Amino acid sequence: MTDIIAPGGGAAGAAPGSYVIQHIAHPRTVTHNTFMRLRTLGGLSVEGVTFRREKVLLLLAYLCIEGPQARRRLAELFWPDAANPMNSLAQHLVHLRSLPGALIEDGNRVASGVPCDAGVMRAAIREGRHADAVSEYRGAYLDALTIPLGPDLEEWVYETREALAREARGALITLAGHAAAHGHAAQASDLAARALLLDGAPPADELELPRLWHLLSLTAHPLAAQVEREARDLGLTLHAAPTPPTTLFVGRHAQLDVLSHLPPGQVAWISGHAGMGKTALLDALTRTGGWTALHGRGGAPYSTLDPLFRSPPSSPAAALHGLRDAHLRLGVDDWDSVDAASQAVIEAAARHRTGAAIVIAARLHPPFEVDVHLQLDVLGPDDLRDHPGLYDLTEGHPTLVAAALRGQPLDVRQGARVRALPAQVRDTYLMLALQDPPDLRATRKASGLSADTFALTLSHLTQEGLTAEGGHVYAAAAARELLEQVPVHAKLLHLKLARALGGMRAWPHYVAARDLWEDVDEDAAARAAGLRAAEDLRRGFPGRALEVLAAFGDRADLAVPHVWALVGVGRYAEALHRLDALDDRAAAAPAVQAARATVLVRLGRDAEALDLAQLISGSGPEAAQAASVLAHAARSREDWPGARHHSQIAADLWRLQGEEQQYVAELGLVAWARSYLDVTPDEAFQDVLPMAERFENVRGAIVLNYAKRLVEVGELGRSVTLMEQAGRDLERAGNTLAHAQTVINRGVLLHLQGHLPEAAALYREAIELLRGTGSVRTMGMALSNLSEIEGDLSAFEDVLGLLLRAEQTDLVMQIRRSARLVQRAQAPASPS
């Protein structure tokens, strides 16, 4: 984004001795009738009203342009030869009063009560809405008058006509300049031609002709030759025909508008780090026409300003004299490279505030007082709204935006700049790009730099426009693509970062650098993996946790999180095998015992699970998990008082540990149990649902259980809506297993209602979701229900055999109880 900064202290940039003109309001506020409008450009009429008295409408037009007037002044101007001018005025005012709200009378003064198109046009120009202003200009002012006018009134009409046409021409030239700045040469030439041929406008003057020629020459428009002849007849010097840009200029509309309207004698300064678009903005300004562009040159005195003179200036006074031309509009790029003599002359011109309008581009802030300071940063999303996806690709970095608009790969554009950096600076930059957000302390440690050197390196990268303050790399994806071209070096940088970061954030870097691990890295990587997996489990992403721990299947210190990840995806048999592989000492740990009890109860081996759970005491996480096991076993027996009791204990223990998400999850199970006891499902779940709003995964599971209870009490309509909501929550949370269970339950609802094709489609969707999860239990439910619909009894028995081999005995019994093979599709299985 870009800030426009004006110097403080009074009127910004006012020259010493200048005056500020203040608006003095009339004693009475004039309120216009917004329902009528006077048309004066290209005709004379009141919109929506049939009124043909030209002299009356001319009087109204005069009041619209000139504001409130004394009656005697109007009488003498409009009826200079009448025997009684005041009487003539009175008669016309009578007719004007027949237009409701058109006339405002205040004693001896009268004013217009309706707006007119000319006033609307002028207001639009003042507010910078040039396109709106041009749309109002439909022809010369009062061009259709047929009545005779006195000499003074006729002179006023012609002067006003020319003034309004000049203003409209100025708006057209401004629009043309903006089109040229943004690379739209054909549009710029068309607008310039309209400006040149505008109805009611006088011949273009010495300020307009060079700009019009410049804009028409962009496309070799036929009118360019005519303008060139007129300019040369006036002795004007025209520069070489401009070359259209190869890349569109985007954004910076407000900044370009400020610069293009810089008054004579004022100085504007554009500052920003490298690559922020200073030169591009200055070039765009030059393309608007009427500007002379100079690029900083070192060496001989006045070498930068030399193109302004026929022969090199011999003294500071001579050089300064060349900048006192009020018609000169000068752009100076790369101030740091401008020779010292030219810098001194430009600074002197800025102090005098007389002569040329000057715009300077530099990396640093202005060393002297200026009238306008534009500090450029990256472009914002609004600047690039006409180019969908461009902001996300480039983060608004002007250099990358230009490359993308040219169709150039960003890694190629950045690559040249990055490869030019010193090796140590380049590696620091690349390590910053590998992090989101970057950890400066770890990056300094990984780079092996001292604090002073690291600070200088960051400053250098910021000045080069490669990073923002704080080390954020612009469009880091492009830098990472560049790094992929040197994979071994990339792995080395990842390894350095992993060692410096430590903890959970080190894990992705250890993964990327796996081929370079040394012995010391094995344990550190395992610790990082354990922390990453624990965080994934806490957030309800067991599948992600399982992926993280897949490479550490033989480490006893990661057995517990590994088991919880397996439980989370429903791979209970594998979880039990993982625990069985531990030695006796490791197996006796309370955390391992709690995990084993959970696995056993999920496998339907409730007796063994209860024996283990009842041995766990205390108030830690293991005790909470043991209480949850007791609750699960009670639910399997449909012992709802016991399920509520033990889930409440588990909830209280989790709350004691500060585990809010686990606490809310257990309260959801308390609500589920209560819905079978003393309250309705609505009453049971009403308190816990708001608590689950912060935890998308937990909320999805609770809503799913709520929906299942509504099915059981016969409220199928509401249940369908809630199951769809649960599915969205679980899908967003990345809980594939629970999402698949929701899809199966939706299928069950349709299955029960006899909508077999729709149910089968949902079962197939669930099967696709479950591929790769390893959840034999849930896959078995989907397959068995689908087999019932398709009438494939052999497939049904194969599924049951699969579940038995996976030790899912309880589920097999449930399916056999609910599915009557003789009377198929009566009661499909749903996840518990």
Residue 462 pLDDT grade (very low, low, confident, very high; cuts 50, 70, 90): confident
Report which of residues 495 and 174 the model is more confident about: 495
b/e map 784-803, b = 16+ CB within 10 Å: bbbbbbeeeeeebeebbebb
Mean pLDDT in residue range 661-671: 94
| Low-confidence winner among 335-339, 513-517, 793-797 (lowest mean pLDDT) | 793-797
Report which of residues 35 and 187 the model is more confident about: 187
DSSP helix, strand, coil percent of the chain (3-state; round to 5): 60, 5, 35
Angle, helices 208-217 vs 151-181, to 10°: value is 40
pLDDT of residue 15: 31
Mean pLDDT in residue range 638-644: 94
Residue 823 pLDDT grade (very low, low, confident, very high; cuts 50, 70, 90): very low
381 phi and psi, to 5 degrees? -55, -35
41, two tokens: 């450009």
| Distance, CA of 258 to CA of 255 (rounded, Å) | 5
Q: Which long-range contacts (CB under 8 A, 24 or more apart) does 726-733 make?
A: 726/700, 726/701, 727/700, 728/700, 729/696, 729/697, 729/699, 729/700, 729/703, 730/696, 730/697, 730/700, 730/701, 730/704, 732/696, 733/539, 733/540, 733/541, 733/696, 733/697, 733/700
| Distance, CA of 74 to CA of 72 (rounded, Å) | 5
DSSP secondary-structure letter at 515?
Answer: G
| Distance, CA of 454 to CA of 703 (rounded, Å) | 52
561, two tokens: 């999180």
pLDDT of residue 1: 36
Report which of residues 420 and 93 the model is more confident about: 93
Report which of residues 552 and 570 the model is more confident about: 552
Residue 33 pLDDT grade (very low, low, confident, very high; cuts 50, 70, 90): low
Q: 3-class secondary structure for 247-296?
A: CCCCCCHHHHHHHHCCCCCCEEEEECCCCCCHHHHHHHHHHCCCCEEEEC
| Low-confidence winner among 29-43, 134-148, 198-212, 377-391 (lowest mean pLDDT) | 29-43
Cα separation values, 109 from 65, 66, 105, 431, Å: 15, 13, 6, 75
Condensed to tens digits (0 to 9), the pLDDT of residues 696-752 reads 888 999 999 999 899 888 888 888 889 899 988 888 776 777 888 889 988 888 888
| Distance, CA of 258 to CA of 3 (rounded, Å) | 12
Among residues 826, 695, 831, which one has the least CA distance to residue 773? 831
Condensed to tens digits (0 to 9), the pLDDT of residues 269-325 reads 999 988 888 988 988 888 887 788 888 888 788 888 887 887 778 888 888 888 988
Return the residue matching tokens 């209970």: 572
| Distance, CA of 80 to CA of 153 (rounded, Å) | 10
580, two tokens: 């069985």
Report which of residues 52 and 621 the model is more confident about: 621
Residue 10 pLDDT grade (very low, low, confident, very high; cuts 50, 70, 90): very low
pLDDT of residue 541: 78
Among residues 197, 193, 359, which one has the least CA distance to residue 270? 359
Residue 172 pLDDT grade (very low, low, confident, very high; cuts 50, 70, 90): very high
Whether 18 contacts 393, CB under 8 Å: no
- DSSP H or E stretch at residue 649: helix 640-656
> Which alpha helices (DSSP H) does 550-589 contain, by range?
559-568, 572-580, 584-587
- DSSP H or E stretch at residue 68: none
Report which of residues 404 and 349 the model is more confident about: 349
Report which of residues 420 and 776 the model is more confident about: 420
Among residues 762, 770, 768, which one has the least CA distance to residue 745? 762
Report the sign of the C-alpha dihedral through residues 255, 256, 261, 262, in that order.
Answer: positive
Condensed to tens digits (0 to 9), the pLDDT of residues 514-546 reads 999 999 999 999 999 999 999 988 877 787 888
The residue type found at 379 is L
Give the bridge partners for 267, in sequence order: 358
pLDDT of residue 21: 25
Among residues 207, 205, 141, which one has the least CA distance to residue 168? 141
Q: 3-class secondary structure for 764-780?
A: HHHHHHHCCCCCHHHHH
| Distance, CA of 417 to CA of 394 (rounded, Å) | 16
Per-residue pLDDT at 505 exceeds 90: yes
Q: Whole-number mean pLDDT of the chain?
A: 84
141 phi and psi, to 5 degrees? -65, 125
pLDDT of residue 23: 28
| Distance, CA of 284 to CA of 182 (rounded, Å) | 7
Whether 323 contacts 353, CB under 8 Å: no
Condensed to tens digits (0 to 9), the pLDDT of residues 83-126 reads 899 999 999 999 898 888 888 998 899 999 999 999 999 999 88
pLDDT of residue 13: 32
Cis preceding-peptide flag for 437 (omega within 30 of 0): yes
| Low-confidence winner among 442-446, 518-522, 789-793 (lowest mean pLDDT) | 789-793
Whole-model pTM: value is: 0.58
